[in-house]
């Protein structure tokens, strides 16, 4: 059993859990850092289709580069974190669960809903725990907002607004392979809505427009007895007052900075669930549900009308 907060308050009583990381790109580096900072986890191997990437990341954190197949097949590795390209998620999830590891896979499960559902069924048959990386559920502020709602502090929810803008339009290379903003990025917001409201919506109505000036990440929940607002996290806490006005820092630049604590807490929650044999805090079913909503939103923008989730097949 590992208690990781407050820092150092309780020491571990078991050996560090051995972890393999598939994918050494931008998001893989984020997870390498989160795994390494965790007191009860030992990052023992990193893989990537670009072997140089794997080698560099392995060196940076004092571990070794291996192939993904090797990592999955290694019986000494307890847990696998899948941070590869989206089109390989389902294959790796199926292989890693078949090999008996506990797995945390980045979102989205897949761009194709049918493929994601097939993966879900296959994994269910193995009984192995799989968590999907909706890291924002572990953000301390969003988590506090959800807890305050659940505790009845603001009554019955009436209107949920999730603001989620990137600081700049994505590069063309991203647009080509991402499957669209809805399936790759807004899927975070779909899951957040389900997480906060405790249920998926009946229907989705979507319109599209573009505006980008900073990494604007806020949530506002109006309820019968009050309002909860999760505000932007600023780059620092300095406020400057001059004759020109009162100025504070802008929101943290992008998801690496804004959500690093959430990635660390996500990993800790995954380890805790594995250690304690409790259900994964975010399941494959959650990943499929969010993907269904993204699919409905994609249809809605095209057809300019609301789309019921039951219509998405």
Residues 62-101 that bind its own copies (CB under 8 A): 62
Closest CA to 42 of 75, 64, 9: 64
Beta-carbon contacts of residue 51 (< 8 Å; ≥ 6 apart): 65
Sign of the CA dihedral running 95, 101, 107, 109: positive
Q: Which stretch binds its own copies (CB under 8 A): 76-84, 125-133, 188-196, 243-251?
A: 243-251
Closer of 91 and 235 to its own copies (Cβ):
235
Rounded to the nearest whole angstrom, what is the least distance from the CB of residue 256 to its own copies in the complex? 5
Q: Quick check: 245 binds its own copies (CB under 8 A)? A: yes
Give the span between the Cα atoms of 35 and 16, in whole angstroms: 11
Sign of the CA dihedral running 55, 59, 60, 66: positive
Q: Which stretch binds its own copies (CB under 8 A): 104-112, 115-123, 170-178, 255-263?
A: 255-263
Closer of 60 and 285 to its own copies (Cβ):
60
The b/e string for 217-255 (b: 16+ C-beta within 10 A; e otherwise) is bbbebebeeeebebebbeeeeeeeeeeeeeeeeebbeeb
Closer of 35 and 291 to its own copies (Cβ):
35
Rounded to the nearest whole angstrom, what is the least distance from the CB of residue 199 to its own copies in the complex? 17
Residue numbers 2-21 binding its own copies by CB under 8 A: 6-8, 11-12, 15-16
Residue numbers 108-147 binding its own copies by CB under 8 A: 140-141, 143-145
Closer of 4 and 97 to its own copies (Cβ):
4
Q: Quick check: 235 binds its own copies (CB under 8 A)? A: yes
The correct pick among 1, 26, 69, 87 for binding its own copies (CB under 8 A) is 26
Element (H, E) at 268: helix 260-276
The correct pick among 153, 169, 308, 311 for binding its own copies (CB under 8 A) is 153
Closer of 216 and 272 to its own copies (Cβ):
216
What number of other Cβ atoms are within 10 A of residue 262's Cβ? 21
On whether the CB atoms of residues 72 and 49 are closer than 8 A, the answer is no
Q: Quick check: 243 binds its own copies (CB under 8 A)? A: yes
The correct pick among 49, 249, 301, 312 for binding its own copies (CB under 8 A) is 249
Q: Which stretch binds its own copies (CB under 8 A): 110-118, 182-190, 256-264, 291-299?
A: 256-264
> How would you classify residue 180: left for phi > 0, otherwise alpha for psi between -120 and 50, otherwise beta?
left
Q: Which stretch binds its own copies (CB under 8 A): 72-80, 110-118, 155-163, 277-285?
A: 155-163
Long-range contacts, stretch 307-313, CB < 8 angstroms, 24+ apart: 307/203, 307/204, 307/205, 308/202, 308/203, 309/200, 309/201, 309/202, 309/203, 309/204, 312/113, 313/113
Residue numbers 210-229 binding its own copies by CB under 8 A: 210-214, 216, 222-229
Q: Quick check: 57 binds its own copies (CB under 8 A)? A: yes
Closest CA to 33 of 263, 257, 254: 263
Rounded to the nearest whole angstrom, what is the least distance from the CB of residue 30 to its own copies in the complex? 6
Residue numbers 160-199 binding its own copies by CB under 8 A: 161, 167
């Amino acid at each position: 059993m590992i208690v990781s907060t407050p820092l150092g308050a309780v020491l571990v009583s078991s050996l560090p859990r051995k972890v393999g990381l598939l994918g050494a790109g931008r998001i893989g580096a984020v997870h390498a850092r989160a795994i390494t900072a965790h007191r009860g986890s030992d990052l023992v191997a990193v893989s990537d289709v670009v072997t140089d990437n794997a080698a560099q990341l392995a060196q940076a954190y004092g571990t070794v580069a291996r192939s993904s197949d090797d990592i999955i097949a290694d019986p000494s590795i307890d847990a696998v974190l899948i941070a590869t390209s989206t089109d390989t998620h389902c294959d790796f999830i199926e292989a890693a669960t078949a090999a008996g590891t506990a797995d945390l896979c980045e979102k989205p499960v897949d761009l194709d809903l049918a493929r994601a559902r097939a993966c879900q069924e296959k994994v269910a048959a193995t009984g192995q725990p799989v968590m999907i990386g909706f890291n924002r559920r572990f953000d301390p502020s969003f988590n506090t907002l959800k807890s305050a709602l659940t505790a009845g502090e603001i009554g019955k929810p009436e209107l949920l607004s999730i603001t989620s803008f990137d600081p700049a339009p994505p590069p063309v290379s991203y647009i080509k392979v991402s499957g669209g903003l809805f399936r790759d990025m807004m899927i975070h917001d779909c899951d957040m809505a389900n997480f906060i409201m405790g249920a998926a919506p009946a229907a989705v109505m979507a319109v599209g427009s573009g505006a980008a000036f900073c990494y604007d990440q806020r949530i506002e929940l109006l309820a019968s007895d009050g309002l909860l607002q999760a505000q932007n996290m600023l780059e620092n806490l300095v406020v400057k007052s001059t004759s020109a006005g009162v100025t504070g820092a802008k929101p943290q630049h992008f998801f690496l900075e804004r959500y690093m604590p959430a990635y660390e807490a996500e990993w800790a929650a995954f380890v805790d669930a594995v250690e304690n044999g409790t259900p994964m805090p975010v399941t494959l079913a959650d990943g499929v549900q969010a993907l269904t909503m993204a699919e409905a939103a994609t249809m809605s923008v095209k057809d300019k009308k609301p789309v019921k989730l039951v219509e998405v097949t």
